């Protein structure tokens, strides 16, 4: 496989934009990425468009990318629509890297766009909840309700029930407390203050997080990622094109795996991470900055361990040490993460990578991780039994 580089990256602001569309969001992100790379749409060889729920919320199925990108100048080349739950954006990037790495394309674009804001919030929650095996959904919901309580009015995302159950299991295994989860939210909200693209840019206190409305115990509202809209895009290119364009962010590894239900051994995140470290020829101790999938605050502590950033049960200690905060030895989610930057599902993975590309190019201003040379992004999607249905781990270097 050939070396692969990121030549351009851009994202819209993430937030709730009732009057906008997937098309408008995607167009803004694509134009920003092309401008950042210093190219025109005519120079792109192939496109991968990620979106998770437009079919369910707007009725636009089958040709989502062709519709969203209709006026960007990108049509005419191969365009592949990608849907892989919350890992859709990173999966599109994975395919763009394969296209360039294999020699099938010199320049590819990965785009993720999502509009989750809907007049009926229950519709949004229901759409998100389809990322599980629907043949077993009723049984799973009934089992989770034993610990979370019923949700007959659809006022919470089913996935917060999933994360609440995982949080309780993690508390039992590690000794983590609700206060630890609140500290994750505090850290990521503090980081987002310096991110003009973040959905929420207000600091919160541990007391405010713990006092916010209970969603599913032990999760409170401020421990959960918000519904929102947004898009992000990346221009991926070969080493030859990178030299011509002056691109300096190399893709050292991008690994996509699927979940294996309740199979013994490592879960999807751990397997993707191990494969990425091996391909990149590095270990977790070499990393300078991480963006990980904190769809709920406990997930950040759990993924510290799955990514090898600390040992089993050591997530709360890593957090309390300050090492994962800006100014620490390994800042995690300097963008604000999904908790505060936002989580417009199909755009999330590309948004993480846009943040890290900017970090490695020294473009992040007050939230810049000084001396960042090696970065990791982890994006997961869906649930299959006890595992994530899909997981992508990407390693980038300056």
Between CA 317 and CA 11 the distance in angstroms is 33
pLDDT surpassing 70 at residue 154: no
| Predicted pLDDT at 181 | 98
Mention every residue, 6+ apart, whose C-beta is less than 8 A from residue 101.
1, 2, 3, 4
Placement of tokens 């290119």 in the chain: 237
Q: Which residues pair with 112 in a beta bridge?
A: 50, 232
pLDDT surpassing 90 at residue 206: yes
| Predicted pLDDT at 35 | 98
Give the pLDDT confidence of 249-307 residue by residue, as tens digits.
999 999 999 999 767 778 999 999 999 999 999 999 999 999 999 999 999 999 999 99
Between CA 159 and CA 167 the distance in angstroms is 12
pLDDT surpassing 70 at residue 153: no
Mean pLDDT of 74-97: 98
pLDDT surpassing 60 at residue 225: yes
| Predicted pLDDT at 32 | 98
| Catalytic residue status for 343 | yes
Between CA 364 and CA 54 the distance in angstroms is 31
Residue 365 φ/ψ region, left for φ over 0, alpha for ψ in the -120 to 50 degree band, beta for the rest: left
Give me the catalytic one of 86, 224, 254, 350.
86
Name the pTM for this structure: 0.96
Q: What angle do CA 76, 396, 101 make, to 5 degrees?
A: 40
Helices (H) and strands (E) in the chain, counts: 15, 11
For residue 150, name the pLDDT band (cuts at 50, 70, 90). low
pLDDT surpassing 90 at residue 188: yes
Backbone dihedral angles phi then psi of residue 395, each to the nearest 5 degrees: -120, 130
Decide if 315 contacts 306 (C-beta within 8 A). no
Buried b (16+ CB within 10 A) or exposed e, 311-340: eeeebbbbbeeebbbbeeebbbbbbbbbbb
Give the pLDDT confidence of 43-73 residue by residue, as tens digits.
999 999 999 999 999 999 999 999 999 999 9
Q: 345-360 vs 88-101: helix axis angle to the nearest 10? A: 60
Give the pLDDT confidence of 329-372 residue by residue, as tens digits.
999 999 999 999 999 999 999 999 999 999 999 999 999 999 99
Q: Which domains does the chain have, with CATH numbers?
A: 4-119+227-397 (3.40.47.10)
Q: Reduced to 3 states, what is the DSSP secondary structure of residue 279?
A: helix
Give me the catalytic one of 254, 343, 350, 364.
343
């Amino acid at each position: 496989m050939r070396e692969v580089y990121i030549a351009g990256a851009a994202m819209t602001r993430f937030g709730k934009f009732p009057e906008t569309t997937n098309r408008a969001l995607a167009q803004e992100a694509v134009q920003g990425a092309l401008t950042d790379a210093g190219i025109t749409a005519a120079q792109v060889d192939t496109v991968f468009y990620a979106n998770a729920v437009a079919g369910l919320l707007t009725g636009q199925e089958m040709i989502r990318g062709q519709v969203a990108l209709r006026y960007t100048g990108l049509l005419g080349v191969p365009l592949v629509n990608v849907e892989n739950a919350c890992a859709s954006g990173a999966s599109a990037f994975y395919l763009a890297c394969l296209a360039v790495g294999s020699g099938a394309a010199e320049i590819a674009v990965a785009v993720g766009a999502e509009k989750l804001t809907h007049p009926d919030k229950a519709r949004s929650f229901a759409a998100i909840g389809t990322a599980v095996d629907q043949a077993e959904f009723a049984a799973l919901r009934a089992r989770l309700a034993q610990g979370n309580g019923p949700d007959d009015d659809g006022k919470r995302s089913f996935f917060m029930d999933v994360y609440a159950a995982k949080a309780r299991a993690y508390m039992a295994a590690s000794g983590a407390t609700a206060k630890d989860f609140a500290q994750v939210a505090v850290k990521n909200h503090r980081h987002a203050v310096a991110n003009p693209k973040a959905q929420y840019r207000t600091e919160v206190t541990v007391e405010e997080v713990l006092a916010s409305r209970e969603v599913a115990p032990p999760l409170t509202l401020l421990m959960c990622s918000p519904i929102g809209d947004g898009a992000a895009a990346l221009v991926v290119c070969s080493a030859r094109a990178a030299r011509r364009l002056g691109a300096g962010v190399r893709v050292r590894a991008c690994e996509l795996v699927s979940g294996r239900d309740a199979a013994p051994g490592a879960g999807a995140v751990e397997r993707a991470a191990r494969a990425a470290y091996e391909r990149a020829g590095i270990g977790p101790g070499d990393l300078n900055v991480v963006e990980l999938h904190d769809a709920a605050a406990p997930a950040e502590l759990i993924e510290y361990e799955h990514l090898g950033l600390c040992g089993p049960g050591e997530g709360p200690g890593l957090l309390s040490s300050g090492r994962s905060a800006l100014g620490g030895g390994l800042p995690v989610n300097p963008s604000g993460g999904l908790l505060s930057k936002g989580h417009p599902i199909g755009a999330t993975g590309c948004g993480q990578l846009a943040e890290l590309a900017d970090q490695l190019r020294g473009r992040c201003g007050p939230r810049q991780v000084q001396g960042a040379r090696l970065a990791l992004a982890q994006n997961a999607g869906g649930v299959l039994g006890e595992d994530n249905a899909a997981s992508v781990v990407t390693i980038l270097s300056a």
